[in-house]
Amino acid sequence: MKIIIHGGFFSESSQSLETKIAKQNALKQVVSNSYEFLKTHTALETIVYAVEQLENDELFNAGIGSQIQSDGKIRMSASMMDGKSTKFSGVVNIENVKNPIRVAEKLFGTVDRVLGGEGATTFAHSNKFEVFNPEIPQRRKEYEAKLGTKSMGTVGCVALDAQGNIAAATSTGGKGFEVPGRISDSATTAGNYATMHCGVSCTGIGEDIVSTAVATKIVTRVSDGFTIEKAFEKTFTELKEIDGFAGAIAIDHKGNIYHQDSHPSMVFASYDGKTLEVFE
């Protein structure tokens, strides 16, 4: 059993040492809790459990604390993928819910598994997800000051369970001040992808991740026989050709855990039951 999570990027220039330590501690707690959960649950159940915890922590830009778009509204996206069945489900630009990943989970068993905008929000509320405003005072303050921080604050998880199944999930509150209707990578297979061979969750600039199909390429290359290291190397070389900004976490079917970013520093934590690694 293995698990790795991420919480977007950390900027030394705009975030304090106190924030860095808080994120390290939060990620350690979530990855430890999620590993314990993984002992008695599937990889698919665990990725939702882990991402929900990250969505509930305003340190991260997903769920509570999501960024505000240019029209003053919060719209979130999230997705999940099961490596065994290769089923993918997600929500794009959903509003007024607490945990977008739980809505994606609800969609997993339906025929129309990816919904966007008003349709996603209507689906959530009609399925008894409570109406919830994820905005925190700090985000409103930033919006009103027109700071436009352009946060690369996605969260995600990849897990390998005791049966050898892999699953991946990703959730984001957007980059802030984007044009309403913008679609990020988080609810696409460019940013979140899994097969029986490998699972990947990405963070960074969505347009760059989509342009180079980061998650899909890494997983496909592992499926085609690349080592996970070589799959990352080739994919991030292609990302560099467009000066792309991204980070990715992964686990392959052999139990190898891997992560890489194009610009420091992606915040992450991993645990295999023996060693807990966290970003520095």
Q: Burial-class residue 257 by CB neighbours within 10 Å (0-12, 13-18, 19+).
A: buried
Query: Phi and psi dihedrals of 247, rounded to 5?
Result: -135, 155
Active site residues: 154
Query: What's the distance, Cα to Cα, between the start and end of the chain in Å?
Result: 24
**Amino acid 10: pLDDT:** 84
Contact criterion met (CB below 8 Å) for 160 and 130: no
Per-residue pLDDT of the chain (280 residues; tens, 9 = 90+): 999 999 999 875 567 899 999 999 999 999 999 999 999 999 999 999 999 999 999 999 999 989 999 999 999 999 999 999 999 999 999 999 999 999 999 999 999 999 999 999 999 999 999 999 999 998 888 888 865 555 557 999 999 999 999 999 999 999 888 999 999 999 999 999 999 999 999 999 999 999 999 999 999 999 999 999 999 999 999 999 999 999 999 999 999 999 999 988 999 999 999 999 999 9
**Which residues, in sequence order, are CB contacts of 95 under 8 Å at separation 6+?**
73, 74, 75, 76, 121
Amino acid at 163: Q
CA atoms of 150 and 14, how far apart (whole Å):
12
The answer to whether the CB of 196 falls within 8 A of the CB of 83 is yes
| CB within 8 Å of 228: residues ≥ 6 apart | 198, 218, 222, 250, 252, 256, 258
> What's the rounded Cα separation, in Å, for the pair 98 and 81?
20
**Domains of the chain from N-terminus onward:** 2-278 (3.60.20.30)
- Spatial contact of 252 and 232, defined as CB atoms under 8 Å apart: no
